[in-house]
């Protein structure tokens, strides 16, 4: 074949991978013409499916790798993740602005979250790769960047529904360490004696609480007040 020739193949996205296809093309079999140099991952992403969403691939009925080159006449079946099961722990995240409302909730539950307002996609991808973080976003093009190894395209739009989706997909209830991380700057909290922070507490808090934590970076004092209780009421609804 010459460099200008194309290969004909069939792509069969399974389950939730069809979410990325245009509605008019949500047929289980897509017939495509691709470059002779394409890999299976290239084919999937040309159809709008980020590589981070693909758990497994079969070519002509045999299990293969997403980085394998395609061949003329291939039938490629793609299988999605249904839950996060790559064995990575602890779970650290890098969050895009379109999932920003989940940042404080994830931190309150004890998960490290890298987040900056108006961050460029390139920087977010680089930080995620360097720090081995899982990217959470509603931007599928971001997840197609080669340096991103793990990510989740968040289907839900509303914040509470997004959190519900993340708790289920990543099985977060088994990994939670609530009240251990600063919601503002992501720094691990340390125990604080009441006497050491007493002059900074509102009178009702000083009278009603005995356990406190402190962020050395942003100088914030935490206690298990109404905000903390609202969080756990939210979790019970998930």
Averaged pLDDT for residues 215-235: 86
pLDDT tens digit string along 89-124? 779 999 999 999 999 999 988 999 999 999 999 999
221: burial class by Cβ within 10 Å (0-12, 13-18, 19+)? middle
User: pLDDT by residue (tens digit) across 148-176?
Assistant: 999 999 999 998 899 999 999 999 888 88
What is the pTM for the complete model shown? 0.91
CATH class of 6-80: alpha beta
CB 58 within 8 A of CB 77: yes
Query: Whole-angstrom Cα distance, residue 152 to residue 50?
Result: 9
The helix (run of H) or strand (run of E) holding residue 58 is strand 54-59
Give the whole-angstrom CA distance, residue 57 versus residue 39: 12
- Reported as type and span, the H/E element at residue 222 is strand 221-222
| pLDDT, average across residues 66-72 | 96
The two domains 6-80 and 83-177 share their CATH topology (first three levels equal): no
The class that CATH gives domain 83-177 is: alpha beta
Indicate the domain borders of the chain: 6-80, 83-177, 186-238
């Amino acid at each position: 074949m010459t460099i200008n020739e194309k290969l004909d193949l069939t792509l069969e996205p399974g389950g939730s991978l069809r979410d990325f296809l245009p509605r008019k093309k949500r047929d289980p079999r897509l017939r495509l013409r691709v470059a002779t140099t394409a890999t299976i991952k290239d084919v999937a992403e040309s159809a709008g499916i980020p590589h981070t969403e693909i758990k497994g691939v079969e070519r002509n009925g045999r299990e293969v790798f997403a980085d394998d080159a395609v061949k003329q006449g291939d039938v490629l079946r793609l299988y999605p993740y249904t839950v996060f099961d790559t064995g990575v722990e602890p779970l650290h995240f890098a969050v895009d602005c379109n999932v920003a409302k989940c940042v404080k909730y994830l931190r309150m539950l004890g998960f490290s979250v890298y987040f900056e307002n108006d961050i460029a996609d390139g920087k977010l991808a680089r930080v995620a790769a360097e720090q081995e973080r899982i990217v959470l976003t509603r931007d599928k093009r971001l997840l197609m960047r080669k340096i991103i190894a793990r990510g989740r395209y968040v289907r839900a739009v509303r914040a509470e529904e997004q959190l519900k989706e993340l708790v289920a997909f990543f099985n977060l209830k088994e990994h939670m360490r609530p009240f251990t991380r600063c919601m503002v700057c992501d720094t691990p909290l340390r125990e604080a004696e009441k006497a050491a922070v007493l002059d900074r507490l509102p009178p009702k808090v000083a009278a009603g609480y005995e356990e406190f934590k402190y962020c050395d970076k942003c100088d914030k004092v935490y206690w298990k007040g109404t905000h903390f209780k609202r969080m756990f009421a939210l979790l019970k609804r998930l």
